[in-house]
Amino acid sequence: MRVLVAGGGGFIGGHLVERLLGEGHVVRVADQKPLDQWWQVHPAAQNLDRFDLRRLDRCEDVVDGIDHVYNLAADMGGMGFIENNKAACMLSVLINTHLLEAARSAVVSRFFYASSACVYAAQHQTDPNVTALREADAYPAQPEDGYGWEKLFSERMCRHFREDFGLETRVARYHNVYGPNGTWTGGREKAPAAICRKIAEAELTGDTVIEVWGDGNQTRSFMFVDDCVEGTRRLMDSDVLEPINIGSSELVSINQLVDLVADIAGISVTRRHDLSAPQGVRGRNSDNTLIKASLGWEPSIRLREGLTRTFTWVREQVRAESALLVR
């Protein structure tokens, strides 16, 4: 296949490009960031940096000659970013809208859209002891303001392009993806990377007081990036038409997440809770009934295994940055 990965300079995109190249596909990668800011650069791919996919003409250029499109391009980050940049997150609607239109015109055979668990209605996420979210729980609509609304709208765009124009679309609702080769500092990082960074810094400096956003009792499930890529490939090759959860069902509190990373690091830490910081919904978990029934598979990498690999990588980045500062 001739495959486009939009947003392939990002965290999940870089891992997906590696997988697609390994399968023998011809891969084109487009990302708005300069090449030196990509998390992974694969020389075997055609890499197009500084490529603004919010523009229709750019989307038309990049889908030319392409069989399958994977759209992972979005302006996004962790809770601290999406709560304070709602308009910027919603402007990502231009990317998916223009990529869909360009793909339809170019007669692309299949189109994948990376959605998010942030589409789910807030009324189902008010308790840390949350009932796992089923795909039907996105309606009646009450998604995360800004980012979640854009994702939910873009899901509908995919559906109607399939129904009205015959463009085969697949939609995954990702649940809190983490792993190496992704954002770990700077304000856009998500909870696992942020906690890995803070504990790596505590290990390095000896200051073992860790700031935790909220009371730490809010719960989440976290999916390792290898499972994310596996689920994405399985979904793309399937006949599943409706949006589907791709996420781990291993629910933990943020306090438990801190304790787990500290145990991996082999240190003891003291949590200092910042109750004024963004913390999102009280509980969110993935119901995997549909993915197991439809694909005969669900994410299976345990949190401890994934965090061990992630912490090892983040610790290397922290130490490298510290060495540069010392110089």
As annotated, the active-site residues are: 147
The angle formed by the CA atoms of residues 216, 220 and 222, to the nearest 5 degrees, is 120
Do residues 42 and 36 make contact, with C-beta atoms less than 8 angstroms apart? no
**Beta strand pairing call for 270-274 and 209-213:** parallel
* Cα–Cα distance, 325 to 292 (Å, whole number): 48
Omega prior to 140 cis, within 30 of 0: yes
CA torsion sign, 4 to 99 to 178 to 85? positive
> CB-hemisphere CA count at 13 Å for 116?
25
Q: Kindly state the DSSP code that residue 277 receives in the 8-state scheme.
A: S
Tokens encoding 152? 């939910």
Cross-strand bridge partners of residue 133: 286
Report helix, strand or coil for 257.
Answer: helix
If you write DSSP's letter for every residue of 9-74 in order, what string do you get? TSHHHHHHHHHHHHTT-EEEEE-SS-GGG-S---TTSEEE-S--TTSHHHHHHHHTT-SEEEE---
Instruction: Of 243, 236, 56, give the one whose Cα is nearest residue 157.
Output: 243
How many other C-beta atoms can be found within 10 angstroms of the C-beta atom of residue 233?
A: 16
